[in-house]
Structure 1
Amino acid sequence: MQFQKTPGWLDWFAGPSKPRFKLPAGAVDAHCHVFGPGAEFPYAPERKYTPCDASKQQLYSLRDHLGFARNVVVQATCHGADNRAMVDALVHSGGKARGVATVRRSVGDGELRAMHETGVRGVRFNFVKRLVDFTPRDELMEIAGRVAKLGWHVVIYFEAADLPELWDFFTALPTIVVVDHMSRPDVGKPVDGPEFELFVKFMRQHPNVWSKVSCPERLSVTGPPALNGEQSPYRDVVPFARRIVQNFPDRVLWGTDWPHPNLKDHMPDDGLLVDFIPHIAVTPDLQRRLLVDNPTRLYWPEI
């Protein structure tokens, strides 16, 4: 089946640099995707965008180039609740990948157990209105209760301005809750301003809440990184991510977000994204917790 990519959206960066920052042994890219290929794994009819194809082989080649040991493959909204592309990537990872699925209320317990056997360890609830249609919260709560029995967690994707109306629902979830990309804060506002302070309060009051300190390329106002190695890539995002890492060092994750869907202005060099890490996790201990200890505890507790 042929799919036409959404006009104006960029393809992923095909020639990533080699990072200057050397990742610690066992590092995990804890947020990445596979898209199709559409001829093998068709995109969902209800999708809000059509990406370029991004295969499991290309993802794992990037993993090796950047120096990661393992991946967490997160179900992409363009595939809806059809998890076949993500599951296929796990099956062919040689045990080096775990997954986060999207499911509907109609999913059977046998199907959940089968996904668990392939390496799925979480479900994702998306509240970004421009990306998905509304799913009733009672359905999401029912799904959370069912996957909790498997020891899975819930990944939530939302925007910072919507936290007040979602707070009660999020805090009622019966699992570990992982927030994508620090809830997409407006980094043009103060890091100690009321909006980001509310997110910090959310994490402080609820010890089951984790956060990914990823996607500076989506949050930055200053734009792509400077070439000067002394200056942080996406420097305006650094204070926000650093604050979360320093305050909650055992509840943070990091990922490339490859292949970076829905970007129009610039496509990041994944090598430079890795070089963002030592600016937000400023000691070897914090780097190891962020990249090795935390994702291993959440996704490979048996190791």
Structure 2
Amino acid sequence: MTSRPAVPPPSLRAAAPPHPDPKVPALRLPPGSCDAHCHIFGPGDVFPYPEDRAYDAPDVTKEDLRRRHDLLGVDRAIIVQSAAHGTDHAALLDALRSDPGRYRGVALVTPRTTPAEIAGLHQAGVRGVRLQFMPHLGPGPTPAELRAVLDLVRPYGWHVAFHIAGDAVVDMSGTLRSTGLPAVIDHMARVDLRAGLEGAQVRALRRLLDTGDVWVKLSAPERLSSGGPPYADALELARALAAQAPERCLWGTDFPHPNVREMPDDGVLVDLIERIVPDEAARHRILVANPAELVGFPLAGR
């Protein structure tokens, strides 16, 4: 990894670098497998981080991402714009243009984003917009701002990724059902698993999945689990969701795992897929067919 030259402002939280030596997974992924949720950072000397960024991140470049995916056996990826870069998409666009067959993107858009910018993002391979409702990343959009963003991206048929946690999956259920676009819930809604699979948050998440219009990413078990690897409680939830609606589930690493409590081993995360989705045909659907449908990859492998 390249080192960021600037010293971060002391008021910013500093995200840790990713696991330096992940294991080679024992599970062989099917051709065309997609990491549906990952990020890149910098390099800061080429793509400077904004002064008002939500947190300070170590440089994890498109080359670092490619090396990690090559080790894991991942052929494709959906790169999600990081709050560390805000609405400056230069690093994301550089990555998308470096390998259009391998990458699609998810942008951070505000009502101030122009239609011309949206057109440029789409041309480069962006196929989704992410809406943050996480206090540590700044205030979420108001209802009026949400409507304005949806109006900007609706002509392109982008999906709308919701970054929410806890009771938000209950409180925002109506919003999630009413976008008129595919709604994708990041990280299994980061529900509180202390109440198990019968808790109100999990029940709300599963009701949304039953609507047929909502997708969920089976990602970031380390963010949900009350214990360390193999994240037994989060895996129980992921298995239940995958069994309930395999046609609307995605899988992602969340590499390089910004702001986690304990850095996971990406090789371990890949091997856990077999425990989440034991059936090979269902794994192919979640890893290959579903992301291809959502963001427009050719269905065949690279």
Q: Which amino acid aligns with 2:177?
A: T
Higher fraction of helix: 2
2:109 alignment partner, one of 103, 110, 114: 103
Contact 2:105–2:127 under 8 Å retained in 1: yes
Equivalent residue number for residue 262 of structure 1: 259
The 1:94/1:195 distance shift into structure 2, 3 A limit, reads closer
Contact 2:182–2:213 under 8 Å retained in 1: yes
2:13 and 2:90 map into 1 onto residues whose CA distance is 26
Equivalent residue number for residue 271 of structure 1: 267
Q: Which amino acid aligns with 1:275?
A: D
Q: CA shift at 1:160, angstroms?
A: 2.5
1:1-303 matches, within 5 Å, as 2-4=6-8, 9-204=15-210, 206-223=211-228, 225=229, 233-264=230-261, 266-300=262-296, 302-303=298-299
Task: Return the TM-score normalized by structure 1.
Answer: 0.92
Q: CA shift at 1:133, angstroms?
A: 2.0
2:287 and 2:205 map into 1 onto residues whose CA distance is 22
User: Equivalent residue of 1:140, what SS?
Assistant: helix
2:171 and 2:233 map into 1 onto residues whose CA distance is 27
Contact 1:3–1:50 under 8 Å retained in 2: no
1:239 and 1:164 map into 2 onto residues whose CA distance is 20
Task: Return the TM-score normalized by structure 2.
Answer: 0.92
1:65 and 1:72 map into 2 onto residues whose CA distance is 17
Contact 1:177–1:210 under 8 Å retained in 2: yes
Deviation digits for residues 52-72 of structure 1 (CA, Å, limit 9, x no counterpart): 111000001111111011110
The 1:171/1:51 distance shift into structure 2, 3 A limit, reads same
Q: Which amino acid aligns with 2:254?
A: D
Runs of 4+ displaced beyond 3 Å: 5-9
User: Equivalent residue of 1:31, what SS?
Assistant: strand
Contact 2:131–2:140 under 8 Å retained in 1: no
State the percentage of identical aligned residues.
Answer: 37
Contact 1:47–1:79 under 8 Å retained in 2: yes
Q: CA shift at 1:163, angstroms?
A: 2.3
1:8 and 1:43 map into 2 onto residues whose CA distance is 13
Contact 1:187–1:219 under 8 Å retained in 2: yes
Deviation digits for residues 46-100 of structure 1 (CA, Å, limit 9, x no counterpart): 2221011110000011111110111100011111111111111111124210000
CA RMSD of aligned residues (A): 1.6
> Please, which runs of 5 or more residues in structure 2 have no aligned partner?
none
The 1:148/1:302 distance shift into structure 2, 3 A limit, reads farther
Contact 2:187–2:217 under 8 Å retained in 1: yes
The 1:114/1:9 distance shift into structure 2, 3 A limit, reads closer
User: Equivalent residue of 1:295, what SS?
Assistant: helix
Between the two proteins, the alignment pairs up a number of residues equal to 293
1:137 and 1:262 map into 2 onto residues whose CA distance is 27
Q: Which amino acid aligns with 1:35?
A: F
Q: Which amino acid aligns with 2:6?
A: Q
